[in-house]
Amino acid sequence: MLFSTLQKDYRKVQRCLSTGYMEKKMKRSRLTFAVLCAVFILSAGAHLYSSSNQLRPEKKMSESSNSYKELATLGGGCFWCIEAVFETIDGITAVTSGYAGGTKENPTYKEVCSGKTGHAEVVQIEYNPEKISYEEILDIFWKAHDPTTLNRQGADMGSQYRSIILFHNEKQKEIAEKSKQKLENSGYYSDPIVTEIQPLSVFYPAEDYHQDYYAKNPYAGYCSIVIRPKLQKLGLK
């Protein structure tokens, strides 16, 4: 029985080969494969087009959200202190310690500390003006350091520790000048305000180990003796 079945199968194969049956089947298979490829390509193209259309609104939202972020650049002594203050304020999205106001390109911390670069230790603040205004940032700035001491903040002495506002545009300049005059008229400080108001030319971010210094080193000597008491005085810690 098995032998008879094998013989029948063998004859079928011979018949297919002799009549071109297999060749026809292969042609049909190639045609089917080509049709499937075309359908796949068209489907993939339609999917990509649909996906790109769905992503466009998200891209616009991202661009729109960026428009609500502005920058302020301020110097008031050691940047570790000013950075720690503004990192606790609602509406502030980022604070970067760095150098500005001088002439040396890409200065190092050691070079700035020499007092020969003209740069001051500053922080560049990224903020959302819908949550906090430039005027409010300056109000905090005046209280976060002593703007009456020339080239000095506490035990930190040198031009790199001077009080300075580096404005990004004419509107900021106008606001800064009015804010400084308002402070002088208020009598909050008995001595004259010596804070410089200058246009920002270039901001150079400081070395990585300076960034988020207080957050990373809360029990370091300077943080315990200088920064923490300042935050407590301002009601921020």
Q: Which residues are catalytic?
A: 78
Distance of CA 119 to the CA centre of its chain: 23
Contact 92, 69 (CB under 8 A): no
Region label for 176, one of left (φ > 0), alpha (ψ between -120 and 50) or beta (otherwise): alpha
By DSSP bridging, strand 163-167 and strand 70-76 are: antiparallel
Buried b (16+ CB within 10 A) or exposed e, 92-115: beebbbbbbbbeeeebebebbeee
* Residue pair 121/75 in contact by the 8 Å Cβ criterion: yes
